[in-house]
Amino acid sequence: MKLKLKLKLKLVTQFFLIFSILILIPLIILFGYTYTKMSSMIRENILASTEQAFNQSTSFISYKIGRLYNTSNSLVIDNNLTSILLKDPDNYPLPNQIQDMEILRTYAYSYQHNIDISDIEIYLNDDFIYSNDKKNIYPISALDNSKWLATIKDRNMRYFWTPYSYISSNDTNFVALGKSIINPGDYTDIIGYLFIKFNKSDLEDILNKINSNPQSFSCIVNSFNDVIATSNMDLCLKYKNIINSTYPSDNTSLKKLNLKFNDIYIQSTYIDKTDWRIINIVPYSTINSKITNQRIYLIFIVLIFGGTALFVGYKFFGSITKRLSKVINGMRDVHADNLDNFIKSDEDNKDDELGELINNYNYMISKMSKLVSDQYKYGKAVKNAELKALQSQINPHFLYNTLDMINWMSYKNMNSEISTAVKSLAKFYKLSLNKGNDLTYIGDELDHVSLYVKIQNMRYRNRISLEINISEEINNYLIPKITLQPIVENSISHGILAKGNVNGKITISGDILNDEIYLNVYDDGIGIEKEKLPLLLSSEEIETNGSGYGLKNINQRLTLLYGESYGLSFNSTYGYGTTVTIKLPLINKTENDEIL
């Protein structure tokens, strides 16, 4: 057995449920907030991880430098080395020189087993026969034209960390620590030089681990701004001027530097026991590219959910528009005196506000058709008045304009306004029908006209102010239904709106005099010219475009019901406003069985 679940919800509830799905505005706000937060987190994480990698790499390089420095200290103060270098070449037999050469070689080889050391070179007196061995041992004169030797002499230094190109211009793959070997008996006497060589690639491997992005790079430069090692030589040359002007401070964190074409983050620090400084440069575009990727993912998510919501909303509002169009087309048929166009109600939505409106429309059309048939059959004047009264219940022009307004609101996604308008319109026609009774309480009639003004204010942007000064005693007496609304409609259409784009006020008041009720409808509109006042209730009455049920018909209905002494009267001053007075007998529920 197939169960069909019918969800009977009010229209405003349906709007709420749909717009719980159609969360475009919250989704956009969420996107903006998430993107901002995520961008900040990505930027902070990249900068923090880069700073951490930089500090770790700097510490590791300092550790390796420290080990090499300590090794060099052990070598240059070793008695075996210094005692050989202090020997007099003139009193140095050849067998002893050969023996010492082997000692020096063995000594150098023993340290070359260190994982950090590539080679050890000892530069000594040229007069030693083995000074030209060029296997760990070199003549001291080979350094005469080197930049390294010139530097330590100019700066009065005992050691200097150097690219090996400062010693041999043909070799750029090594870095060396060059250190003077001092005569233990005379600290002013340099008896030789010691160089500990290590691979430049060892430094480059460490630098490569600082940054994961190919557009970021790190480098080590010395006090001459010569590059010792770098993770990317092309980028190093590109930012050469910035590197040359960057000197470390106490704060080694990344700092933003604004350039003409591309902002960068830069950090630097000195390496202990050297004249080197390590510099790390991260272009802002590398961080922004990762943020952009996340933005694309977010946009993609927003488009999927937003597109789905829009599609669902389009289908939903399309169904509302379709139902409204049926009612509008039905109103057009009423204009054309076709009373046979009944609207088929959708079974799944017949209990919402639009469904109630369609049901009321169908009921009124059926009632109108019956009254037309009765008028044709019996030809009575009272039936004719009732027909016109029922036509005013539908008021095709007003209903058409209101539905057109709701239709416009639906395209603008004005959910709350649509709900208010539909509820007001449904209640307006419910009061118009009055369960088929011709008489209604004056209080309900005032509610009826208040709903009418409320709907018109939605159309005319609250240009009409309605004030009601009626006592509760009067509210409990009866009045023919739809008496006040056509009068107020004329006050709006031919009074207030005729003055142009200004606001207006309508006041409804009432008194009881001599067992008769006098209701006054005053508007501060354009008023009526004195010579036209007598024509309002005559056969020459000017057509009222906004109402299908004119003042003459109201007066005729009142006189038919209560006699010639009752009906409408007018007082107007052109340019200042109009007062319509309705004279009624005192009729309450106990005196008349035709009640709500």
CATH number of the CATH domain containing 275:
3.30.450.20
Considering only CA atoms, give the Rg of the chain.
Answer: 51
Is 28 a domain residue? no
* Same-domain pairing of 560 and 497: yes
Secondary structure element (H or E) that encloses residue 270, with its range: strand 264-270
Q: What is the pTM of this model?
A: 0.53
For residue 579, the tally of other CB atoms under 10 A from its CB is 17
* Same-domain pairing of 408 and 373: no
Q: How far is CA 480 from the centre of its chain?
A: 56
* Same-domain pairing of 240 and 185: no
Distances (CA, A) of 304 to 18, 299, 301, 566: 17, 9, 5, 68
Q: Would you tell me the crossing angle of helices 353-378 and 284-335 to the nearest 10 degrees?
A: 10
* Same-domain pairing of 210 and 190: no
Written as six digits, the tokens of 512 are 């009881």
Q: Which residue has the tokens 């996340």?
A: 294
pLDDT of residue 446: 93
Domain count, the chain: 4
Is 22 a domain residue? no
- Nearest one of 546, 557, 538 to 387, comparing CA atoms: 557
What's the residue count for the chain? 596
| Under 8 Å between Cβ of 141 and 153 | no
CA–CA separation, 270 and 250 (whole Å): 10
Is 310 a domain residue? no
* Same-domain pairing of 195 and 273: no
Q: Which stretches does DSSP call E strand in 461-557?
A: 464-469, 478-480, 504-513, 516-523
Tell how strand 577-585 and strand 516-523 pair up. Answer: antiparallel
CA–CA separation, 567 and 442 (whole Å): 16
Is 27 a domain residue? no
Instruction: Report how far apart the first and last C-alpha atoms of the chain are (Å, whole number).
Output: 44
In the chain, % helix, strand, coil (3-state, to 5) comes to 55, 20, 25
* Structural domain for 226, as ranges: 202-287
Domain end, chosen from 147, 174, 200, is at 200
pLDDT of residue 59: 94
Is 493 a domain residue? yes
Domain end, chosen from 390, 410, 429, is at 390
Q: CATH number, domain at 573?
A: 3.30.565.10
CA–CA separation, 55 and 253 (whole Å): 9
* Same-domain pairing of 419 and 432: yes
**Could you give the residue ranges of the DSSP H alpha helices within 412-550?**
415-433, 442-460, 472-475, 484-490
* Same-domain pairing of 519 and 538: yes
Query: Average pLDDT for consecutive 10-residue bins of the chain (596 residues)?
Result: 48 60 74 76 84 92 92 89 90 90 87 81 91 88 92 92 87 91 91 93 92 88 93 92 89 82 88 93 82 77 76 69 72 72 66 72 76 59 52 65 84 84 84 82 92 90 92 90 91 89 92 93 91 78 46 87 90 92 87 52
CA–CA separation, 140 and 182 (whole Å): 14
Is 181 a domain residue? yes
Domain end, chosen from 163, 178, 200, is at 200
CA–CA separation, 551 and 488 (whole Å): 10
| Under 8 Å between Cβ of 431 and 440 | yes
Residues 6+ apart with CB under 8 A from 121: 108, 136, 137, 138, 176, 194, 195, 197
Residue type, 312: V
pLDDT of residue 415: 82
Instruction: State whether residue 571 is helix, strand or coil.
Output: strand
CA–CA separation, 398 and 177 (whole Å): 99
Q: Which residue has the tokens 């200290």?
A: 73
Is 12 a domain residue? no
Is 17 a domain residue? no
* Same-domain pairing of 118 and 215: no
* Same-domain pairing of 99 and 214: no
* Same-domain pairing of 143 and 232: no
For residue 269, the tally of other CB atoms under 10 A from its CB is 19
Distances (CA, A) of 270 to 246, 253, 439, 548: 11, 13, 100, 94
* Same-domain pairing of 135 and 152: yes
* Same-domain pairing of 216 and 355: no
Residue type, 367: K
Angle, CA 463 vertex, CA 458 and CA 466 arms, to 5°? 90
